[in-house]
């Protein structure tokens, strides 16, 4: 595969990642959200494998497989089981309305390009232009966590944010050293179990997963 | 080079103790295993410190670990406070168990996670790899999240959720910063794990791209700053520190904040060396000062005793962050001393506060009365602890705050009045609250209890001793660490 072709594929995949990030901002149904998250994971996994092939960095194949197993299969599966067990189907309530959220999202993309411009100039890698998209994905994940009230959506926002970080690592540096990638994957796995336990605790205590109810701990005047 | 003989036990003991305590569960001797494990870790950390003293800084396990005056000092502190906390937690948790606030499963989980948390912090300190540091920091958060919600009350669950989400988001920013750091380092050091080693990074710091490092530092600052509890990233801290079991509050306030600040200080030294400016230091000074002022004024409004001392932790971490940002030999020395003094004083305060709230069945300050009469050790321990933490002479906190203030007047005179204002407000806020809690008659709802003497007395004696006389070996140790942070 030629470098130019790889760069094009990489840009195309970056565009798709950004698209899934925006689709997640707009998605109101919980199941749809989990599917989008799985798709985003798949795009990342494919992208990592391609970068690994073109740049002949074989450790990227391992992180590609890891992404596939963790973010496309395991995490969406866990989330599916949880929402079925806890009977969460209803639409997600949003704090800020969706068109407004999308506008803020666009603003974040522009901001990301602005912020990473000096770095992109320095780099000689084929994948460098996607760093801005990666940062935008991180910020959109953050936005999602702020604008949604549901505990499950907040967790999906967090995982999407982590996807953005992973994307940044593969596009800016051909992936972090393997030992770091493995450790990060382990941390995410532990975090997945913890939020699973949490959902049950929150559900049992508050009888719903709406985090708006959790407002006891405020400063008293 | 083979793994230094004392480094391995230092990390393996807490890890094995965690596994063992997970298996043992809620037995009578579980707290004793917890204490023994922590004490063994402490012994190993002392041994390691002697090695560093004798041989100077060294790497171990190939290039995987790195030990110098700075991180060995924090490792000893971490192991020491975890030992005394384990001693305190034996009596404290037994009572919580008797009162039905925590069950079988909870106790098993508590002991195992306590040791895992210690392991994560030690790994953070001793690793040579910036990526592993991040992973260990996240592990430290994850191991304590479910401890904060141990009592399963709505408030505890809310606090733990906030802790989980806010620290998760915060630390994700630090990972982005680490990616940027790797991006800059890789161009100089080549690809692979070697490009993320502290030892290599500090060697080539002059060649790293300044623009990338400045940007990386912003993300690292936000990320690790969240874990240090700096304003405005501090929202999770008062909740997590006040709703969890008290031994956990003591180690969160006394140790985890130090470890996060350690990461930040190492990053700052690197970035300032690369950019040749005081950019990173200035950012830290800004965050530090804001934390001091906001926390000092928040202290005035608190009603919950543990919450109040959580704000005091924010204030003190603000002071240390400010001083590290200011740089220079005196301020850095003061900051290192301040971390030590704050850890010892604050954890001893949490020990007495834990007992005081058990005696009164509440954390509300309005209902805590007559501690001197109810339990002299708790009352006087609390009183002296607060005297130490507000920086009254002759306690050691006075020495460190005095050093920091002197350096501020010399190097950043404009900040000195603000620093003084923060210290004064915090002093007044704490003292106003403490008087009514310790004096007067014991109220009818007060219950008696057998307090854990040793941890409180040991910590306060150490804080007092350092305030009266700074031993030469400690002075040398800190001077070496200051030299590393130039």
Q: Mean pLDDT, chain B, as a whole number?
A: 92
The CA–CA distances, whole Å, from A49 to A14, A52, A180 equal 14, 5, 18
| Token pair in block for residue B136 | 């260990």
The CA-to-CA distance between both ends of chain B, in Å, stands at: 28
**For A139, nearest residue in chain B (alpha carbons):** B173
What is d(CA A157, CA A138) in angstroms, rounded to the nearest whole number? 9
Detail the DSSP E strand segments found in chain A. none
Residues B287, B224: contact at Cβ < 8 Å?
Answer: no
A59 falls within a domain:
yes
The CA distance from B474 to the nearest CA of chain A, in Å, is 35
Alpha carbon A9 to its chain centroid, in Å, reads: 20
Domains in chain A: how many in total? 1
A33 falls within a domain:
yes
Read off the pLDDT of each residue in A183-201 and give the average, rounded to a whole number. Answer: 88
Angle at B255 between CA B254 and CA B257, to 5 degrees: 90
- Chain A / chain B CB contacts < 8 angstroms: 133
Read off the pLDDT of each residue in B284-292 and give the average, rounded to a whole number. Answer: 96
Q: Mean pLDDT, chain A, as a whole number?
A: 85
Residues B93, B247: contact at Cβ < 8 Å?
Answer: yes
Alpha carbon A203 to its chain centroid, in Å, reads: 24
| Segment A135-182, tens digit of pLDDT | 999 999 999 888 887 888 888 999 999 999 999 888 877 778 888 888
The Cβ of residue B112 has, within 10 Å, a number of other Cβ atoms equal to 22
A216 falls within a domain:
no
From the list A161, A179, A217, the residue facing B239 with the nearest CB is A217
Closest CA to B115 of B7, B39, B224: B39
> Which residue range is the domain that position A70 belongs to?
3-89+96-206
| Token pair in block for residue B218 | 């912003």
Q: Does A213 score more than 80 pLDDT?
A: no
Tell me if chain B has a CB within 8 Å of the CB of A3. Answer: no
What is d(CA B232, CA B242) in angstroms, rounded to the nearest whole number? 19
Report CB contact under 8 Å: A217, B209.
Answer: no
The whole-model pTM stands at 0.93
Report CB contact under 8 Å: B212, A202.
Answer: no
Return the higher-pLDDT residue of A174 and B347: B347
| Token pair in block for residue B303 | 């009603």
With a pLDDT cut of 70, the percent of chain B lying above it is 99
> Which H/E stretch holds residue B3?
none
Residues B33, B20: contact at Cβ < 8 Å?
Answer: yes
> Which H/E stretch holds residue B235?
none
Closest CA to B140 of B251, B281, B275: B251
User: B190: which DSSP letter?
Assistant: -
User: B265: which DSSP letter?
Assistant: H
Residues B86, B69: contact at Cβ < 8 Å?
Answer: no
Quick one: pLDDT at residue B1?
44
Lowest-pLDDT range, B37-41, B163-167, B284-288? Answer: B163-167
What is d(CA B174, CA A47) in angstroms, rounded to the nearest whole number? 23
The CA-to-CA distance between both ends of chain A, in Å, stands at: 65
Q: Is the ipTM of this complex over 0.95?
A: no
| Segment B449-459, tens digit of pLDDT | 888 889 999 99
User: B67: which DSSP letter?
Assistant: E
Quick one: pLDDT at residue A96?
74
Report CB contact under 8 Å: B303, A220.
Answer: yes
The dihedral sign for the CA sequence B415, B311, B169, A65:
positive
Lowest-pLDDT range, B5-9, B68-72, B210-214? Answer: B5-9
From the list A122, A186, A217, the residue facing B209 with the nearest CB is A122
With a pLDDT cut of 70, the percent of chain A lying above it is 92
| Segment A8-66, tens digit of pLDDT | 888 899 999 999 999 998 888 888 999 999 999 999 999 999 888 888 888 889 999 99
A56 falls within a domain:
yes
What is d(CA B23, CA B33) in angstroms, rounded to the nearest whole number? 12
CB burial readout B343-364, b (16+ within 10 A) else e: bbbbbbbbbbbbbbbbbbeebe
A220 falls within a domain:
no
Return the higher-pLDDT residue of A215 and B18: B18
**A135: chain B residues, CB-CB within 8 Å:** 176
| Segment B426-475, tens digit of pLDDT | 999 998 889 899 988 888 888 888 888 899 999 999 999 999 999 999 99
Q: Classify the phi-psi angles of B277: left when phi > 0, otherwise alpha if psi is within -120 to 50, otherwise beta.
A: beta
Residues B361, B447: contact at Cβ < 8 Å?
Answer: yes
The dihedral sign for the CA sequence B132, B135, B139, B141:
positive
| Segment B219-229, tens digit of pLDDT | 999 999 999 99
What is d(CA B101, CA B245) in angstroms, rounded to the nearest whole number? 10
Read off the pLDDT of each residue in B397-422 and give the average, rounded to a whole number. Answer: 94
Report CB contact under 8 Å: B165, A122.
Answer: no
SS (H, E, C) B52-66: HHHHCCEEECCCCEE
A34 falls within a domain:
yes
Tell me if chain B has a CB within 8 Å of the CB of A161. Answer: yes
| Segment B320-332, tens digit of pLDDT | 999 999 988 999 9
Report CB contact under 8 Å: B161, A190.
Answer: no
The CA distance from A129 to the nearest CA of chain B, in Å, is 14
What are the phi and psi torsion angles at B374 (to 5°)?
-65, -50
- According to the per-residue pLDDT averaged within each range, which of A3-17, A149-163, B43-57, B401-415 is highest? B401-415
Query: Which residue reads 């690994």 in tokens?
Result: A52
**A185: chain B residues, CB-CB within 8 Å:** none
**A187: chain B residues, CB-CB within 8 Å:** 135, 138-139, 142
**A178: chain B residues, CB-CB within 8 Å:** 193
Report CB contact under 8 Å: B212, A119.
Answer: yes
Q: Does A221 score more than 50 pLDDT?
A: no
Closest CA to B9 of B51, B56, B57: B51
A109 falls within a domain:
yes
Instruction: Write down how long chain B is.
Output: 486
């Amino acid at each position: 595969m030629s470098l130019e072709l790889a760069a094009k594929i990489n840009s195309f995949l970056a565009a798709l990642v950004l698209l899934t990030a925006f689709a997640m901002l707009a998605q109101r149904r919980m199941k749809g959200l989990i599917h989008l998250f799985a798709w985003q994971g798949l795009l990342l996994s494919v992208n990592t494998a391609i970068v690994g092939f073109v740049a002949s960095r074989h450790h990227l194949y391992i992180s590609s497989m890891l992404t596939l197993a963790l973010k496309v299969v395991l995490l969406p599966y866990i989330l599916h089981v949880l929402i079925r067990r806890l009977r969460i189907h209803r639409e997600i309530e949003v704090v800020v309305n969706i068109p407004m959220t999308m506008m803020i999202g666009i603003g974040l993309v522009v901001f990301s390009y602005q912020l990473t411009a000096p770095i992109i100039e320095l780099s000689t890698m084929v994948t460098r232009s996607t760093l801005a998209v990666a940062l935008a994905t991180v910020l959109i994940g953050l936005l999602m966590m702020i604008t949604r009230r549901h505990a499950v959506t907040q967790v999906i926002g967090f995982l999407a944010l982590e996807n953005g970080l992973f994307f940044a690592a593969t596009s800016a540096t051909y992936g972090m050293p393997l030992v770091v990638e493995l450790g990060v994957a382990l941390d995410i796995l532990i975090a997945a179990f913890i939020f699973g336990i949490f959902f049950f605790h929150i559900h049992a205590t508050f009888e719903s997963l709406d985090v708006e109810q959790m407002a006891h701990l405020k400063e008293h005047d | 080079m083979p793994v230094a003989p004392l480094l391995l036990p230092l990390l393996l003991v807490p890890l094995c103790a965690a596994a063992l305590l997970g298996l043992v569960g809620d037995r009578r001797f579980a707290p004793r295993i917890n204490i023994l494990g922590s004490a063994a870790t402490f012994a190993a950390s002392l041994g390691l410190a002697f090695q560093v003293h004798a041989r100077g800084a060294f790497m171990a396990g190939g290039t995987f670990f790195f030990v110098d005056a700075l991180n060995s000092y924090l490792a000893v502190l971490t192991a020491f406070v975890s030992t005394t906390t384990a001693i305190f937690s034996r009596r404290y948790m037994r009572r919580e168990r008797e009162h039905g606030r925590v069950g079988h499963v909870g106790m098993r989980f508590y002991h195992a996670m306590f040791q895992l948390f210690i392991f994560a912090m030690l790994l953070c300190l001793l690793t040579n790899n910036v990526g592993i540091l991040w992973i260990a920091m996240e592990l430290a958060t994850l191991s304590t999240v479910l401890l904060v919600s141990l009592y399963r009350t709505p408030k505890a669950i809310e606090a733990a959720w906030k802790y989980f989400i806010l620290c998760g988001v915060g630390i994700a920013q630090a990972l982005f910063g680490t990616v940027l750091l790797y991006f800059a380092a890789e161009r100089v050091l080549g690809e692979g794990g070697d490009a993320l080693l502290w030892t290599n990074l500090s060697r080539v710091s002059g060649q790293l791209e300044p623009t990338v490092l400045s940007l990386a530092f912003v993300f690292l600052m936000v990320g690790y700053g969240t874990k240090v509890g700096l304003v405005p990233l501090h929202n999770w801290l008062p909740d997590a520190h006040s709703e969890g079991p008290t031994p956990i509050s003591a180690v969160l306030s006394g140790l985890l904040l130090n470890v996060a600040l350690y990461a930040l200080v190492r990053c700052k030294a690197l970035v300032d060396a690369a950019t040749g400016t005081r950019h990173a230091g200035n950012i830290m000074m800004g965050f530090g000062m804001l934390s001091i002022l906001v926390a000092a004024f928040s202290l005035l409004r608190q009603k919950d005793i543990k919450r109040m001392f959580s704000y005091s932790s924010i204030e003190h971490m603000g002071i240390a962050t400010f001083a590290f940002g200011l740089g220079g030999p005196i301020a850095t020395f003061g900051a290192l001393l301040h971390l030590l003094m704050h850890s010892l004083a604050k954890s001893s305060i949490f020990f007495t506060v834990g007992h005081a709230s058990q005696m009164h069945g509440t954390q509300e300050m309005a209902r805590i009365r007559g501690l001197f009469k109810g339990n002299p050790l708790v009352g006087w321990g609390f009183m002296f602890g607060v005297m130490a933490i507000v920086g009254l002479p002759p306690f050691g906190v006075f020495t460190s705050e005095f050093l920091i203030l002197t350096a501020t007047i010399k190097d950043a005179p404009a900040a000195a009045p603000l620093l003084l204002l923060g210290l004064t407000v915090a002093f007044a806020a704490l003292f106003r609250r403490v008087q009514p809690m310790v004096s007067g008659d014991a109220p009818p709802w007060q219950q008696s209890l057998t307090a854990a003497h040793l941890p409180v007395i040991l910590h306060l004696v150490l804080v007092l001793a350092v305030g009266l006389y700074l031993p030469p070996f400690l002075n040398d140790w800190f001077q070496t660490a200051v030299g590393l942070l130039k």
